Amino acid sequence: MKTEISAAPLEDGTAALALLAKLMPWLTGKHSLEEILHAINAALGASLVWVLVEQEGVPQFTRVGEITCTLQDAVTLLEQSQLRRNLRAWRVICWRRHVGTLLFPENTLVGNKLKSGILCKLHVQESGLSGYFFVAFPQSTLSLSVMKNVVIILVEKLKSFLVEIISRDRAAKEIQHVIEQYKALFDRAPVLMNSFDKNNRCILWNGECERLFGWTLEQLNQQPDPLALFFPDPLVRQQVRASVNTSPAVDMHEWHPVRRDGQVLTVLWSNILLPDHSILSIGLDITARKKAEQQMERKATIDDLTGCYNRFAILQHLKALLVSCNPSDPRSHFSLLMLDLDHFKNINDRWGHLTGDAALIHFCDKIREHSDPSWLFGRLGGEEFLILMPYTSSKSALRFSQKMRATLTQTPLLSIGEKITLSFSAGLVFVTSDQVDTSVLLTLADNALYDAKRAGRSKTVIAGAFL
Ligand SMILES: Nc1nc2c(ncn2[C@@H]2O[C@H](COP(=O)(O)OP(=O)(O)OP(=O)(O)O)[C@@H](O)[C@H]2O)c(=O)[nH]1
């Protein structure tokens, strides 16, 4: 804060009155303490002015002037033995020379810049506020007695609104502190926080947003539609806007924004309506968690070796198909094909377990290649598999098993220069009703499969009849 007041030589009472007249407009509760001290410092031609007050045990130190001084320097001066000895007695103390060396005993370079000074006690009875006012000058030859009286008048005037100024300054500092705390929280919290105005301009974009998405606030607002960077599909973008602008809710919703490097993320967003009716979106990046969940889900349902459903998953699918099976609705009928590789043990015994594994993978790949996408394919265990074929007649299922035999003959497994032709036996059940238990169905298919093995293998038997 700069004042228009400049220092004037202070030889007599008239000059002092002129000086006080200049300063009076500044000595009101409308200005901050710092502004007032600046005005005094400039008007007196001083190099340092400070006020140290204590209210309810909380010290507040305000300093202006070209000489920098800390609260500790002020305390050093106040602790001078001479002052302590006369603690109660004095009200104003003047130094004609060397005041700087008392203030800065360790730093004579700075100390020598201050020659004379005045220290004045402050005490406001009603508010319990007490403290000190200090002013120091670069020269010794001041009309100190006149200056002392000027300072006493200034301090008396200052005291009348010091309480008000100090509590206001303290409140402003507290607000500033709260703002800084929230700003740090906004920038450093591991949570996404942003806000877009009605014209789709981004007005808030915290550190986590910048880190995760790879765009700065400035870069975003250089775009005609910043939201399009994250949601390229106009329809999705519209849904995002609707969720933010028209239906803010605290519930978290899953969105899939794209980040700068093209990776699609999974983010949970919720929108909070602020008191000024703007909306703050808060998000949590759950991409890694979601991926881990999907991997775990996959592990729980997929057979590691062959990539088809595991026993648990395929039997779950069978139960679900059975529940929805209705005799009067042919679309709900399905075929169940249980397959078992023939003489698989021989492959293991002759070419080793790894080749046996490769044979299982080869078999599953071929089945998948020729299956209908609506079919469900799972491994019951070992070299035994199950195919569930919704809305597929036993005739079609039978045709498929014959086609697969031909395919396996035409495309044998190639292992260490040898061709291993796979074949399988199968049991087939056509299901038209939900009035049958899964275990009964599996036994029926298993018996048919056993019949196929007994009949010489490489055959499919429909439950109850040989083919
Ligand atoms: N390589 C490999 N072998 C397995 C796996 N699971 C089971 N087997 C083997 O599969 C073989 C199954 O042998 P068997 O039950 O006698 O059946 P098979 O030799 O196919 O004879 P039939 O079914 O009567 O035609 C056993 O040797 C098991 O050790 C697997 O994951 N990998």
In a domain, 467, yes or no: no
- Please report whether residue 7 resides in a domain: no
**Is 76 within a domain?**
yes
Which pLDDT band, with edges at 50, 70 and 90, does 465 fall under? Answer: very low
Phi, psi of 190 (to 5 degrees): -80, 45
Picking from 267, 289, 311, the residue at the C-terminal end of a domain is: 289
Q: Which atom of ligand 1 is nearest to the CA of 381?
A: 6
Q: Does ligand 1 come within 6 angstroms of the Cβ of 423?
A: no
Give yes or no: residues 266 and 315 share one domain: no
Q: Is 453 in the pocket of ligand 1 (CB under 6 A)?
A: yes
The response to whether residue 382 sits with its C-beta less than 6 Å from ligand 1 reads yes
Distance CA 408, CA 404 (A): 6
Token look-up 């009155």 returns 17
- 88 and 66 belong to one structural domain: yes
Nearest to 52 by CA among 162, 132, 117: 132
Give a yes or no: residue 296 inside a domain.
Answer: no
Tokens of 246: 């028209």
**Rounded CA gap, 185 and 401, in Å?**
64
Of 255, 289, 323, the domain-final residue = 289
Contact call for residues 421 and 431 (beta carbons, < 8 A): no
Q: How many angstroms from the chain centroid is the CA of residue 269?
A: 11
Examine the domain organization and report whether 179 and 196 are in the same domain. no
Q: What is the CATH number of the domain that holds 71?
A: 3.30.450.40
Question: Do 318 and 451 have their domain in common?
Answer: yes
Question: Is 159 buried (19+), middle (13-18) or exposed (0-12) by CB count in 10 A?
Answer: middle
Residue 3: pLDDT band by 50, 70, 90 thresholds? very low
**Domain match, 57 and 164 both:** yes
- CA–CA gap between residue 141 and residue 244 (Å, rounded): 71
Q: Within 10 Å of residue 111's Cβ, how many Cβ atoms? A: 19
Q: Under 8 Å CB-to-CB from 268, ≥6 apart: which residues?
A: 252, 253, 254, 255, 283, 284, 286
Using one digit for the tens of pLDDT, what is the confidence trace for 44-85? 899 999 999 887 777 889 999 999 999 999 998 988 867 766
Clarify whether residues 398 and 277 are in a common domain. Answer: no
Token pair for 381: 């265990």
Nearest atom of ligand 1 to the alpha carbon of 359: 1
Q: Which two tokens stand for residue 415?
A: 């292992």
Is residue 390 within 8 Å of 380, Cβ to Cβ? Answer: no
Query: Residue whose CA is closest, atom 21 of ligand 1?
Result: 343
Give me the mean pLDDT over the 310-318 stretch.
Answer: 97
Q: Same structural domain for residues 196 and 275?
A: yes
pLDDT for residue 379 is more than 90: yes
CA of residue 338 to ligand 1 center, whole Å: 15
In a domain, 197, yes or no: yes
8 within a domain of the structure (yes/no): no
Asked if residue 3 is part of any domain, the answer here is no
Using N-to-C axis directions, what is the helix angle for 438-454 and 311-323, rounded to 10°?
120
Which residue, 71, 70, 15, is CA-closest to 45? Answer: 15
CA distance linking residue 19 with residue 154, whole number of Å: 11
Pick 248 or 447 by higher pLDDT. 447
Q: What's the residue count for the chain? A: 467
The type of residue at 239 is Q
**pLDDT (average), residues 90-104:** 90
Q: What's the mean per-residue pLDDT of the chain?
A: 89
Same domain? For 158 and 272 the reply is: no
Q: Is the CB of 340 under 6 A from ligand 1?
A: yes
Q: Kindly report whether the global pTM for this prediction surpasses the value 0.80.
A: no
Q: Which atom of ligand 1 is nearest the CA belonging to 354? A: 1
Within a domain: 5: no
Domain final position from 164, 183, 202? 183
State whether 157 and 254 are in the same domain.
no
177, 53: one domain: yes
Same domain, 223 and 316: no
User: Could you tell me if the ipTM is greater than 0.90?
Assistant: yes
Q: How many separate domains does the chain show?
A: 3
CATH number at residue 226: 3.30.450.20
- Are 128 and 30 in a shared domain? yes
d(CA 35, CA 218) in angstroms, rounded, equals 36
What CATH number corresponds to the domain at position 392?
A: 3.30.70.270
Q: Do the Cβ atoms of 39 and 3 come closer than 8 Å?
A: yes
Max CA pair span of the chain: 133
> Does 434 score more than 90 pLDDT?
no
The residue range of the domain holding 394 is 302-462
Which residue owns the Cα nearest ligand 1 atom 5?
A: 382
